[in-house]
Amino acid sequence: MASISRPGGSFYHEVLAVVLQVRRGCLHVLLWRRARPPFEGAWALPGGPLGADERLGTSLGRHLAAKVALTEIAQLEQLETRSDPDRDPRQREVATAYLALVAAGLDPCLPADTAWHPLDRLPAVAFDHGSIIASARDRLRAKLSYTNLGFALAPPVFTVAELRDLYAAALGHPVSATNLQRILVRRGVIAPTDEVAPPSAAGGRPATRYRFAERELRVTNPLAAFRPPSP
Amino acid sequence: MASISRPGGSFYHEVLAVVLQVRRGCLHVLLWRRARPPFEGAWALPGGPLGADERLGTSLGRHLAAKVALTEIAQLEQLETRSDPDRDPRQREVATAYLALVAAGLDPCLPADTAWHPLDRLPAVAFDHGSIIASARDRLRAKLSYTNLGFALAPPVFTVAELRDLYAAALGHPVSATNLQRILVRRGVIAPTDEVAPPSAAGGRPATRYRFAERELRVTNPLAAFRPPSP
DNA sequence: CGGGTTTTCGACTTATTATCGAAAACCGGG
DNA sequence: CCCGGTTTTCGATAATAAGTCGAAAACCCG
């Protein structure tokens, strides 16, 4: 490391990823099982130490690559940095957490110690990772409603019914398909394609397939509150 | 520092504060002038090194106390952590930035090297502090419209006209007093007191004084988009 | 072809935001 | 004390957004 030329300590710095995906109608997080103390047997967020010349985002990508193919990550954004001196019983450690999203339908192959866990029935979780997961979930829920973040949870094309299930799983409450379609279309977030999905075996009208208009994060709500007296 | 028991470097970690206040109708940021290289003569955000057993928030409070009385800070929240290896030309350094807000009307006494600068006419700024300031401004603007964050910018009591000017300065565009009053009252963000403000010398109807209902951050927008089919 | 199923869409209601202008309440001066 | 000038407040209405409902569309199978 670089030498220290002024007062102040130096800190072991770790990056962590909260990788979320909707699987079988439930929001899941990617965790790996610790094989040694502390928290032996408990599950932890993937991540690892920040490298000497890395930036946080790059470092996260490097560590994450050991768990899932990076091409499967549709969205990555910094969440928050935790600094409680006691968060790791072994030593002082600062950790920066990221939120990462994987589109539904993908099923990356995982190392043996790694698995998806539903957010509403988490196993014993190591360190302060439980509260970090909660932060990530809250951030996802908030952004789903006022941005086009859904693009990162959905496959390239989908029906409104499929999208409704995705949103319901992520938001944690039932969602109206009619409203979802109307609101997202009006906001320009999703647009119909010219293809339709074949009905289920039981029949039913074939559903139009939609796609997200953009795959870059964008704020879509009015949010222009208290607008100027206009021109 | 604690010894390192696994691979990975150790990083000098700094906390920074973007202290914002509306002064004379413009959003200002608190900066201090660097007396030595690098960036000698340029202006920088207040802050300093993270202490060995401190958490980030505590550390920020300590460093900030050297610039302004902490009691003047109405709101403090973590913004983001910067990790570009080249952000400080001297050495590798990770920095976590916070957003801090000071209510209008306060005029903390400042050290000689420290001053308020309007955001729209910043002097030369050191390191990557310019882009951190921009992030802080964006965060403030977004939260002003869907939370009650305004409480941190406003004095304990105020008239609607005063509040309009505060919001206009922070948002960077004109604001309708009528809408502001109606929306914030309906959302339960502000409430009238029983006192009125004396009119100006030119006369005019005396304005009723309002106050923020809560002084804790709270999300106030509908944001419950795509609500469930209800019970 | 007819009953069963799922999606789509129009029509309506409710909620929220924006616009406008008149009324309220005060000042100073004649 | 009345009057024009000023600023704030508030009601009426328009515009936009969101939520509800149910019928029509489009498909399955036997």
> For residue A70, what pLDDT is reported?
82
User: For B14-34, what is the mean pLDDT?
Assistant: 97
Question: Cα A121 to chain center, whole Å?
Answer: 17
- At residue B38, what is the residue type? P
What φ, ψ does residue B129 adopt, rounded to 5°? Answer: -65, -25
Residues above pLDDT 70, as percent of chain B: 92
Chain A residues with CB under 8 Å of B57 CB are: 83
A131: left (phi over 0), alpha (psi -120 to 50) or beta: alpha
Is A50 in contact with B11 (Cβ distance < 8 A)?
yes
> For residue B1, what pLDDT is reported?
38
Q: Does the N-terminal peptide bond of residue B192 adopt cis geometry, omega within 30 degrees of 0?
A: no
* Contacting residues for B170 by C-beta, under 8 A, at least 6 apart: B20, B22, B27, B140, B141, B144, B153
Tokens of B31: 């900066």
Q: Does A5 touch chain B (CB under 8 A)?
A: yes
Q: Which of residues 51-70 of A touch B (CB under 8 A)?
A: 51-57
- Cα dihedral A104, A109, A111, A115 sign: positive
Residue A212 CA and nucleotide C3 C1' are separated, in Å, by 37
> For residue B5, what pLDDT is reported?
40
Is B9 in contact with A226 (Cβ distance < 8 A)?
no
CB-CB: which of B1, B5, B145 is closest to A9? B1
Terminal C-alpha separation, chain A: 56
Q: Does A3 touch chain B (CB under 8 A)?
A: yes
> From the C1' of C25, which residue's alpha carbon is nearest?
B205
Is A13 in contact with B11 (Cβ distance < 8 A)?
yes
User: For B76-83, what is the mean pLDDT?
Assistant: 98
User: For A172-182, what is the mean pLDDT?
Assistant: 93
Residue A229 CA and nucleotide C21 C1' are separated, in Å, by 15
How far is the alpha carbon of A230 from chain B, nearest alpha carbon, in Å? 9
pLDDT in tens, A19-54: 999 999 999 999 999 999 999 999 999 999 999 999
**What value does the mean pLDDT of chain A take?**
91
With the CA atoms of A102, A184, A166 and A147 taken in that order, what torsion angle do they form, in degrees rounded to the nearest 10?
A: 50
- At residue A97, what is the residue type? A
Chain B residues with CB under 8 Å of A57 CB are: 83
Distance CA B24, CA B168 (A): 12
> For residue B2, what pLDDT is reported?
38
- At residue B104, what is the residue type? A
Q: Which of residues 88-107 of B touch A (CB under 8 A)?
A: 90-92, 94, 96
> For residue A8, what pLDDT is reported?
61
User: For B25-41, what is the mean pLDDT?
Assistant: 96
Q: Which of residues 166-205 of A touch B (CB under 8 A)?
A: 167, 171, 173-176, 179-180, 183
For B173-181, the CB contacts below 8 A with 24+ separation are: B173/A227, B173/A228, B174/A228, B174/A229, B175/A226, B175/A227, B175/A228, B176/A226, B176/A227, B176/A228, B176/A229, B179/A226, B179/A227, B180/A226
Q: Does A86 touch chain B (CB under 8 A)?
A: no
- With a cut of 60, say whether residue A57 has pLDDT above it: yes
DSSP string, B112-165: TTEEEEEGGG---B-TTHHHHHHHHHHHHHHHHHHBSGGGGTS-SSEEHHHHHH
Containing A140, the helix (H) or strand (E) segment is helix A129-146
Chain A residues with CB under 8 Å of B13 CB are: 8-11, 13, 94
pLDDT in tens, B204-215: 899 999 999 999
Contact B4, B85 (CB under 8 A): no
Question: pLDDT higher for B199 or B183?
Answer: B183
Tokens of B219: 């999300």
> For residue B148, what pLDDT is reported?
95
User: For A131-137, what is the mean pLDDT?
Assistant: 98
Q: What is the CA radius of gyration of chain A?
A: 20
> For residue A229, what pLDDT is reported?
52
Distance CA B132, CA B80 (A): 8
User: For A68-86, what is the mean pLDDT?
Assistant: 94
Is B146 in contact with A145 (Cβ distance < 8 A)?
no
CB-CB: which of A1, A221, A229 is closest to B174? A229
| Per-residue pLDDT band at B10 (split at 50, 70, 90) | very high
User: For A104-128, what is the mean pLDDT?
Assistant: 96
Tracing tokens 């996802």 back to the chain, one arrives at A140
- With a cut of 60, say whether residue A4 has pLDDT above it: no
CB-CB: which of B2, B145, B223 is closest to A225? B145
- With a cut of 50, say whether residue A81 has pLDDT above it: yes
pLDDT in tens, B57-70: 999 999 999 998 88
Distance CA B157, CA B166 (A): 13
Tell me which of A70-74, A119-123, A148-152, B185-189 is least confident: A70-74
Task: Count CB neighbours of B75 within 10 A.
Answer: 20
Is A83 in contact with B145 (Cβ distance < 8 A)?
no
Terminal C-alpha separation, chain B: 57
Residue B179 CA and nucleotide D14 C1' are separated, in Å, by 15
Residue A130, classed as helix, strand or coil, is helix
* Contacting residues for A124 by C-beta, under 8 A, at least 6 apart: A39, A41, A42, A43
- Would you say the C-beta of B206 is within 7 Å of strand D? yes
Q: How many cross-chain Cβ pairs, A to B, lie less than 8 Å apart? A: 165
> For residue B4, what pLDDT is reported?
37
Chain A residues with CB under 8 Å of B85 CB are: 53-55
- With a cut of 80, say whether residue A224 has pLDDT above it: no
pTM of the entire structure? 0.92
| Per-residue pLDDT band at A108 (split at 50, 70, 90) | very high
Distance CA B79, CA B45 (A): 14
How far is the alpha carbon of B80 from chain A, nearest alpha carbon, in Å? 7
Contact B175, A226 (CB under 8 A): yes
Distance CA A33, CA B5 (A): 20
- With a cut of 90, say whether residue B104 has pLDDT above it: yes
User: For B79-101, what is the mean pLDDT?
Assistant: 96
The DSSP secondary-structure symbol of A151 reads G
User: For A198-211, what is the mean pLDDT?
Assistant: 90
> For residue B19, what pLDDT is reported?
98
> For residue A7, what pLDDT is reported?
53
Is B1 in contact with A10 (Cβ distance < 8 A)?
yes
